[in-house]
Structure 1
């Protein structure tokens, strides 16, 4: 049943060593990728928190209201875009 006298040949040692190296490389690669993703996420959050002109979060109506409050759009454009967002295009009856 146990041929080769319980020993492992040269190819067995090679396969075991190769598999170990591949496993360790995968573990290191996953750790590096997770660290990069975490670093980019926290850097993005920090930049957004410190920059008031960063892309605002929230619903489309909130974004539109913020643009109106900052003076980027006028009252007419605000009302028009708000109606479009709510699905009531100007000049149509509901």
Structure 2
């Protein structure tokens, strides 16, 4: 049907070509910053240079919910920052 049997190797070439195309697309998407490990529109988590830690975020949330008084909040904030002016 294919003359000299040239079509016999096509069963191998097409899947390889498709795999290469998919790999190139995945690498392009990751390189452009569209990877799935990014937050859904949220800011990156605070790091060492941002001045805010997860502990401070929790403290802020508890204060906002009214679980802490002003004095408790300020005292715990000083403890987190390492201020020891007692």
Smaller-chain TM-score bracket: 0.3 to 0.5
More helix by share: 1
Bigger Rg over Cα: 1
Query: Larger relative CO (CA 8 A, sep 6+): 1 or 2?
Result: 2
